[in-house]
């Protein structure tokens, strides 16, 4: 099938709302479907013998990554993407949504499947909780789940003063268990009070850091917002291990360390 035939089949099978034009070594199909920001979803057809591969060239997942500050997708989000691909009979390969049109199949139908999958995957943006709604603790929870660390969330613990404190996470690893407070705020003026609150908590809970099953105290700073001063880190450092959310692998290493 030559270029003229590929474009003719696309346009005849799908109507005037779809357009097809040659593009380098393949053919660009402009669909009427839109990403949530209003850009058209474009697909690309590449012929190899009797097989034509229809793909978004990874643009859909690339678009999703641009809409969130989180460096990774959660297991739930990955499951939703896989479900969309399964529903529309599309393969996810190296970040690309693709399907093959073999001899005797309708190229228009295959192209429509990929377009629908791209539309559904991009619409997952509406279910992604933005940072204004999703607290950083939800992202930390996703990371712990992904790394298969057992944990309790917001466990109430009694301090020496009799006051009840609720660290964000009680994480258990084979080597040692840890209590984690997540320090997060969008306000530079509020940063000091957040640090002081966590310092008070670690001081009052200090009896959990003693004994043969002593708990490690971890202060995890959400440093994706530039609100923290060095004094904030130094304030909690004597009683806890400092971790930064911009370095999630280091945070995981801290939890897994024996001492």
Contacts of 169 (CB under 8 A, 6+ apart): 137, 140, 141, 144, 151, 152, 153, 178, 179, 180, 182
What tokens appear for 24 in the block? 């380098």
Between CA 110 and CA 100 the distance in angstroms is 7
Contacts of 174 (CB under 8 A, 6+ apart): none
Note the pLDDT of residue 132: 39
* Alpha helices per DSSP H over the chain: 3-14, 59-66, 75-88, 107-122, 136-146, 188-204, 230-236, 248-256
Contacts of 256 (CB under 8 A, 6+ apart): 173, 175
User: Which of 27, 100, 97 lies closest to 63, judged by CA?
Assistant: 97
Specify the pTM. Answer: 0.53
* Residues lower than pLDDT 50 in the chain: 129-133
* Cross-strand partners of 170: 152, 179
Cα-Cα end-to-end distance for the chain: 65
What 3-state class would DSSP assign to 99? strand
Please, what are the domains in the chain? 3-126 (3.30.1460), 136-256 (3.40.1350.10)
């Amino acid at each position: 099938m030559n270029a003229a035939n590929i474009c003719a089949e696309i346009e005849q099978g799908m109507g005037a709302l779809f357009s097809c034009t040659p593009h380098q070594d393949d053919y660009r199909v402009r669909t009427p479907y839109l990403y949530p920001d209003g850009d058209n979803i474009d697909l690309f057809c590449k012929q190899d013998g009797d097989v034509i591969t229809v793909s978004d060239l990874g643009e859909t997942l690339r678009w999703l990554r641009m809409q969130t500050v989180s460096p990774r997708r959660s297991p739930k989000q990955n499951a939703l993407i896989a479900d969309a691909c399964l529903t529309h009979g599309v393969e996810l390969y190296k970040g690309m949504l693709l399907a093959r049109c073999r001899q005797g199949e309708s190229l228009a139908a295959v192209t429509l499947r990929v377009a629908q999958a791209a539309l559904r995957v991009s619409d997952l943006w509406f279910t992604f909780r933005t940072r204004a709604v999703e607290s950083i603790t939800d992202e930390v929870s996703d990371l712990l789940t992904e790394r298969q660390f057992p944990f309790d969330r917001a466990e109430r613990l009694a301090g020496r003063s009799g006051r009840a404190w609720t660290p964000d996470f009680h994480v258990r690893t084979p080597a040692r268990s840890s209590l984690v407070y997540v320090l997060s705020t969008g306000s530079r003026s509020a940063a000091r009070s957040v640090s002081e609150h966590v310092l008070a908590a670690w001081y009052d809970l200090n009896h959990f850091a003693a004994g043969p099953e002593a708990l490690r105290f971890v202060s995890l700073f959400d440093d994706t917002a530039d609100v923290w001063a060095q004094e904030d880190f130094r304030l909690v450092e004597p009683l806890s291990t400092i971790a930064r959310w911009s370095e999630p692998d280091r945070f995981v290493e801290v939890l897994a360390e024996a001492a």
